[in-house]
């Protein structure tokens, strides 16, 4: 997949290609002398790029996306974690030589909103669990970050040292930020929203699975479910995964005394996931399988899902 910081060059006639190629070799030589990938070729009248409508702009953003999970096997030592990267996509070698400091505002309240929207239970990662080890990314007393780009820098990492001995295995943590001062750069459209980084210790249910079963639709009839799924730690005995074959997110919580499973989550604000009368959802430790029965309401009747999610 082509990242937002890469260029897409469309076809032109043969002569134009030769002229453009020569031009780009000159510009590429200048850029490579400064940094590996920090200089973006400038948009010209005879070339269309993904940034064609923003000719002459340099960008800043998060190249790895706005949700960045960090899930670990249990550990008790200090682990160095690159939480996220922030990238300067300079339009020219001259722009790459600028000294710029980007401000990222900490948004702890955004974690609560994320939980409300997604049925999760993340808490703000307490500062007692980590120290910042990024020489070019620092934090103030309120937790806001400053990412300093010296001349020639095109990518910085927010890196922490995480103390596994202090990590509460029953909890999931998060950090949330947004760019509030781009130092004259343009925040890329894909990076204007809130950035979330998630932290959790994997439980024994976390891993790769395969789901089979049936989705019962009251109007369209039954359809088979046959797909791979990833179950991600959501608590000490909980994992999250997609709902049936429709996407979204549901939480599976195992009662380890009875091996009964509670299915929670929602398709929309008015469509919660509910149990099926007379049927239970369970976990089979011997086959490492979730045997699930759940439903959700809709205008033409309940959609009912029967699926078995078996560990690979």
The whole-number average pLDDT for the span 8-20 is: 38
pLDDT digits (tens, 9 = 90+) for 46-59: 333 344 445 689 99
CATH 2.60.40.1740 for the 57-201 domain, yes or no: yes
The confidence score (pLDDT) of residue 39 equals 58
The confidence score (pLDDT) of residue 45 equals 35
The confidence score (pLDDT) of residue 234 equals 80
The CATH code of domain 207-311 reads: 2.40.128.440
The confidence score (pLDDT) of residue 36 equals 38
Beta 172-181 vs 122-124: how paired, if at all? parallel
The confidence score (pLDDT) of residue 46 equals 35
Beta 59-61 vs 260-268: how paired, if at all? unpaired
What tokens appear for 85 in the block?
């990267």
pLDDT digits (tens, 9 = 90+) for 172-210: 899 999 999 999 999 999 999 999 999 988 889 999 999
Residue bearing the bigger pLDDT, 2 or 62: 62
The confidence score (pLDDT) of residue 54 equals 54
Burial of 292 (C-beta count, 10 Å sphere; 0-12/13-18/19+): buried
The confidence score (pLDDT) of residue 49 equals 38
Tell me which residue has tokens 């009662």. Answer: 255
Nearest to 69 by CA among 161, 199, 194: 199
pLDDT digits (tens, 9 = 90+) for 217-237: 999 999 999 999 999 888 778
In this prediction, residue 43 has a pLDDT band, given cuts at 50, 70 and 90, of very low
Question: What Cα–Cα distance (Å) separates residue 255 from each residue in 258, 260, 261, 283?
Answer: 6, 5, 6, 9
Q: Is the pLDDT of residue 96 over 50?
A: yes
Q: What share of the chain in percent tops pLDDT 90?
A: 71
Q: Is the pLDDT of residue 9 over 50?
A: no
Max CA separation in the chain (angstroms): 74
The confidence score (pLDDT) of residue 294 equals 98
Question: Taking the domains of the chain in order of start, what are their residue ranges?
Answer: 57-201, 207-311
Q: Is the pLDDT of residue 264 over 60?
A: yes
Query: How many residues make up the chain in this entry?
Result: 312
Instruction: Tell me, yes or no, if the two domains 57-201 and 207-311 fold the same way.
Output: no
The confidence score (pLDDT) of residue 11 equals 36
CA distance 249 to 231: 10
The whole-number average pLDDT for the span 90-108 is: 94
- 39-42, long-range: CB < 8 A, 24+ apart: 39/90, 39/91, 39/92, 39/93, 39/95, 39/96, 39/154, 40/5, 40/7, 40/89, 40/90, 40/91, 40/92, 41/7, 42/91, 42/92
Question: What's the angle, vertex CA 112, arms to CA 106 and CA 114, rounded to 5?
Answer: 90
Q: Is the pLDDT of residue 8 over 60?
A: no
The confidence score (pLDDT) of residue 38 equals 57
Q: What share of the chain in percent tops pLDDT 70?
A: 82
Count of CB atoms situated within 10 Å of the CB of 154: 19
CA distance 90 to 96: 5
């Amino acid at each position: 997949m082509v990242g937002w910081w890469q260029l897409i060059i469309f076809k032109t006639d043969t002569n134009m290609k030769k002229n453009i190629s020569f031009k780009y070799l000159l510009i590429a030589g200048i850029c490579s002398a400064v940094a590996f990938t920090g200089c973006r070729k400038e948009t010209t009248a005879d070339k269309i790029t993904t940034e064609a409508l923003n000719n002459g702009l340099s960008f800043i953003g998060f190249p790895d996306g706005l949700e960045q999970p960090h899930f670990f096997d249990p550990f008790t030592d200090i682990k160095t974690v690159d939480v996220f990267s922030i990238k300067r996509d300079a339009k020219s070698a001259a722009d790459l030589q600028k000294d710029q400091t980007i401000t990222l505002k900490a948004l702890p309240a955004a974690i609560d909103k994320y939980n409300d929207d997604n049925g999760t239970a993340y808490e703000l990662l307490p500062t007692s669990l980590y120290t910042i080890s990024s020489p070019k990314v620092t934090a103030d007393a309120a937790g806001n970050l400053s990412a300093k780009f010296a001349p020639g820098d095109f990518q910085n990492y927010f890196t922490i040292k995480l103390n596994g001995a202090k990590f509460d295995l029953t909890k999931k943590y998060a950090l949330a930020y947004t760019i509030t001062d781009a130092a004259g750069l343009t925040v890329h459209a894909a990076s204007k929203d809130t950035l979330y980084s998630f932290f959790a210790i994997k439980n024994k249910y976390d891993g790769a699975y395969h789901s089979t079963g049936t989705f019962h639709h009251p109007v369209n009839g039954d359809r088979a479910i046959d797909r791979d799924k990833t179950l991600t730690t959501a608590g000490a005995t909980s994992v999250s995964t997609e709902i049936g074959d429709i996407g979204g997110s549901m939480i599976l919580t195992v009662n380890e005394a009875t091996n009964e499973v509670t299915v929670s989550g929602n398709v929309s604000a008015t469509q919660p996931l509910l149990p099926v009368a007379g049927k239970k959802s369970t976990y089979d430790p011997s086959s490492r399988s979730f045997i699930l029965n759940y439903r959700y309401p809709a205008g033409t009747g309940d959609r009912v899902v029967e699926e078995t999610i078996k560990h690979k």
